[in-house]
Amino acid sequence: MTQMTVNNQKVSLDTPADTPLLWAIREKLNLTGTKFGCGIAQCGACTVHLDGAPVRSCSVPVSAVSGRKITTIEGLMKTRTGKALEAAWNQVQTPQCGYCQSGQLMAAADLLNKAKKTLSREDILSAMSGHICRCGTYNQIAQAVALAQKTLKGGQA
């Protein structure tokens, strides 16, 4: 039995210790916003926050998250940062097929939460470079992250 906090709710999961966190999230908790892409920590589609830092949930066993805090895209969207990102994503019309986007948003939220200065396009592209989008939405993502940072600084979200 693994106990953890997911999106501010305590949960107990009866899964084998080596079950990838991604499958626990999707199949046991029915939080299907987190996606499976490569399964080998290469694409970023499965990104969640573990104790506030992004991890690739396809490659983290549930045994490694016992007693820890996880935020998925569903939880992120209830936060101020998540709402600012969602509004910016919509304004720029960022998603194409959408498959990679929850992972992109988790990475973008981490970037914004840690940013100590106004992010340039190069800062954003560099920080997000490990997140693959087969539809090529990188330009829109860079625009949307910059817009969300502006909104958060202006205190509007």
Residues that bind ligand FES (CB under 6 A): 36-39, 41-46, 56, 58, 95-101, 133-135, 137
Whose CA is closest to 86, among 78, 5, 120, 132?
A: 78
> What H or E segment, with its residue span, contains residue 50?
strand 47-50
Nearer of residues 131 and 152 to ligand FES, judged by Cβ:
131
Smallest gap from residue 133 Cβ to ligand FES (A): 3
Smallest gap from residue 35 Cβ to ligand FES (A): 7
> Could you give the strand order of the β-sheet that contains 47-50, starting from the edge strand earlier in sequence?
9-13, 2-6, 69-71, 47-50, 53-56
Nearer of residues 110 and 152 to ligand FES, judged by Cβ:
110
Three-state DSSP at 29 gives: coil
Nearer of residues 13 and 22 to ligand FES, judged by Cβ:
22
Which residues lie across from 84 on neighbouring strands? none
- Alpha-carbon distance of 13 to 98, in angstroms, equals 29
- Alpha-carbon distance of 152 to 1, in angstroms, equals 39
Smallest gap from residue 38 Cβ to ligand FES (A): 4
Which residues lie across from 53 on neighbouring strands? 50
Cβ pair 94, 141 in contact under 8 A = yes
Nearer of residues 127 and 152 to ligand FES, judged by Cβ:
127
Smallest gap from residue 126 Cβ to ligand FES (A): 18
Smallest gap from residue 99 Cβ to ligand FES (A): 5
Nearer of residues 101 and 143 to ligand FES, judged by Cβ:
101
Give the amino acid at 32.
Answer: T
